[in-house]
Every structure is written in structure tokens, then in C-alpha cells.
Amino acid sequence: MRSRSVRRRAYGAVALALAGTLAACNVEPTAHDECHAKLSAAPGCPAAALVVMSDYLSTQIALTTPAGDTLCGSYFSTARAEATPVAFALSGDVVLPSARPASGRAVVIDRYGTNVVSFLAADTGALLGQLAVGTGFESNPQDYLEIDERRALVSRWGENPVPGQKTFDEGGDLLVIDTVGLAIERRLALPHDDFPPRPGGITRVGDGAIVTLQRMSIDIRSMGDGRLVGIALDSLDIAWTLALDGLKNCGALTVSPDTTVGAVACTGYVDRSGVAANLEDSGIVLLDLTQTPPVEIRRLSAEALAGAPLQAELEWFAPRRLLAKTQTALDGDANNRLLMVTVDADAAEDAAEVLLEARPNGSGTGQGVVFGGMLCTPGCDATCLVTDADRGVLERFTIDGDTLTPLGPLGIRGTVGLPPRDVGGL
């Protein structure tokens, strides 16, 4: 599975404050003449990749091969999804699910200000339908996980200050949605104490799902320690809760290729410019997934790995090797870095190798976060893709056992110059 809590400007999206309350709808499929891809893949492997390009005002989505070659530059976009009485325009705050949808449909999560999940035909990008998940407030949906042939979970980060006006309008929850009829079936409330739960990534592990709680205050000025919550998928009830004491602002759990180990990256609280409040709150926690609830194996310090906080997103490319990224402040004195992290249980010390470093801006200071979504396909195409908004390309690597070999960057053909931000399997 793939993580991008990122995958993901969860609470930073508040800065994009957009007005409007939306309702659910279905629309007739809208064909895209430019895209008629023939997709096929081995079982368990992605047939293609989706690449989200955005300046946070408008969005374009491209379809590529898992190795990054462009199939359709304008697969779906703000221009192609203009608002009508039965459809919602694509905003600039768009992400992809952290796990490839088993249905084979492309799914797009339109977050703060729009609060809509869109469903697309995989081979053409035709809009099949949309489901609004705002229910009268800024729900800020974060992730989407299909749990069977007709149901999925959607995590809603937002809190409704005046609930009770509409059905399912509380927020801070998981919605159970009907992915065929495009309707909300029920909500699952998540633990709420001194901090709202702020659910982010959702990960399937065996017969359950694990959701990450980021636990940020209503005024988004403070955070509690992260938590993982296990959901029993047979009953759709909370089965267990695991505290990640001492770590804040954590991303989705990511599962190793051999499915025995999980990893969670935590950034720590950061302000709107990306400055971390406390480096000690950032790191990677490794979990034994052969036990329920998972048992913590060990932690890797962000300070030891990078001398800087980490973004709350990881990607496995081998059983004990991860891709990670630094959390870099806008106009700071450091540049964003892509790291290869070794997580062997018997390693003498935490180890990370810098694979890429962003360029400074025109003033000689950091551009902030430019390395975004990551997609690795070990056992399939044996390729890793990383979106690089600095150079406007997909950075590519070949997986060779426990190492990565650079393939050289690729641009996305047929696009309007928007920087790539996210990538996911299809």
C-alpha cells in the first residue's frame, strides 16, 4: 500500500479557506477524447499511475505508466471538471487515496473548500460520479479506503462547531460510503478528548483497518501525541487504540512488502511556513504487524536520520528499506531532501542516505517542501516515482534488491506547467 498523508497538507489546507456547501451527486460519464489508454497489469500490481499537478489554485491529473511515461497528460483537470448543476469543479487542494482502489476506478479526493470524492473511469478519466462528504461544514476529507466491492471508508479531518443541522455532520470521523450508489451509509465516531481526533491516513491490515489520529486543537495552534486506531471491518467498530507517545503530526501507517512490519513517520507540530516547533517530536516508529494490536519494535530519530524533521509520509521499496523526506521550512536555511532509510532491527545506528536535494530559490533560501507523493512497485515494475515540484518532473529509480539506481527524471507531456505534487497507483 502507499502512504501520502500527506500523504499531505492536512491542517495546512485551512489556509486555503474557500466558501461553499456542497451536496452529493451522480453525473453521466464525460468522455475525454485525448485519453483511451489500454491498461493491464499482473495481479496485485498497478496498471498505471496517476500524477496530481497543482499550484493549489487549479489542478491537472495525468495518467502515466508505473515507470512514469506519460499516457494521457490531461486525464482529468479543473478545466475538464467545471462546476455545473450536477458536478463540482476540481479545486487546487486535491490528493489521491493512500491505497490503490481495488475496484479499478480512479478516485480523487478534493479537500478543504470542496469536500468531494470523485470517481473516474480508469482508461479514459471520464467522470463517473461524485459524492460530497461535507454535509454542511468543511469536513476536509483526507483518505479513502475500499473495504469490499461496494463500501469504502473516508476520513474527515474537519470538526463541525455547530453539528446537528444535517445528517452525518459532526466531523472528526470515518464515513462509511456506498461506492456503487454513491451515498453515505453511516459514520464512525473516533476518540475525542482534549484534542479533536483529526483522522488522516487509513491503511488496510488483514481483516482490519488502521487510521492515524493527528489530534490537533480547534485553533490549529497545538497538537497532542499521535494515535493509531484499529477498526474491525466485520463490525465497523473500534477494536483498539495505540498511543504514539512523544510523537506528533503522524502520517498513515505503511506496510512493508513482506507485510510483517509497519512504519509511521511523524513530523511534529509545524507552523504555516513549515517551521517545526520541536525536533524531538519527529521520527519513524516501526511496528510488528503480526500482533493485534501492533507492538512497537523501535523508533528512528529524525535528528539522527536527517538533523531535521521528517515529512509524515513513507514508502517501502524493500522489506527493510524506506523512502522518506525532510520537512523543510519555506525561506529557511535548508533545502528539501529525499532520503533512503535503512530500518534493519539489528542495525548499529539509524542510517539514511540522501538521494536528492532541492535547489534553493532565487534568494538563496529554501523553497519549502517540494518532494511530494511517492510510489514504489517492488515485485511489479520495480520502479520508484517521486514528484519533484522544484524541477517539475517525476524523479525515477530502479529497485535493485535493497538499493535504488537513478533512472533520470521525466516531465509530464501535454500539461500546462503545473508542478507535480502527488502520485498514486491505479
| Structural domains of the chain in order of their starting residue, each with its CATH number | 12-425 (2.130.10.10)
Query: Is residue 286 within 8 Å of 295, Cβ to Cβ?
Result: no
| Mean pLDDT calculated for residue range 332-352 | 87
Greatest Cα pair distance, the chain, in angstroms, is: 61
Record the cell numbers describing residue 125, joined without a space.
478519466
Residues of the chain with pLDDT > 90, as a percent, come to 82
- Give residue 219's pLDDT: 93
Record the cell numbers describing residue 155, joined without a space.
476520513
| Mean pLDDT calculated for residue range 317-335 | 95
| Mean pLDDT calculated for residue range 190-198 | 96
Per-residue pLDDT of 132-189, as tens digits, reads 999 999 999 999 999 999 999 999 999 999 999 999 999 999 999 999 999 999 999 9
Question: Would the pLDDT of 21 be above 60?
Answer: no
What distance in Å separates the CA atoms of residue 50 and residue 5, rounded to the nearest whole number? 16
Per-residue pLDDT of 274-299, as tens digits, reads 888 999 999 999 999 999 999 999 99
170: left (phi over 0), alpha (psi -120 to 50) or beta: alpha
Question: Would the pLDDT of 43 be above 50?
Answer: yes
- Give residue 346's pLDDT: 67
Distances (CA, A) of 257 to 49, 277, 312, 322, 366: 19, 33, 19, 11, 34
- Give residue 32's pLDDT: 46
Residues of the chain with pLDDT > 70, as a percent, come to 89
Range with the lowest mean pLDDT among 218-222, 386-390, 421-425?
Answer: 218-222
Side chain identity at 44, as an amino acid letter?
Answer: G
- Give residue 27's pLDDT: 43
Mean predicted lDDT score pLDDT of the chain: 90
| Mean pLDDT calculated for residue range 306-317 | 97
Question: Would the pLDDT of 237 be above 50?
Answer: yes
Query: Is residue 38 within 8 Å of 75, Cβ to Cβ?
Result: no
Q: Is the pTM of this model over 0.75?
A: yes
- Give residue 347's pLDDT: 67
- pLDDT classification of 7: cutoffs 50, 70, 90: very low
| Mean pLDDT calculated for residue range 61-74 | 96
- Give residue 183's pLDDT: 98
| Mean pLDDT calculated for residue range 257-271 | 96
Q: Which residue did the predictor score with more confidence, 48 or 27?
A: 48
Side chain identity at 188, as an amino acid letter?
Answer: L
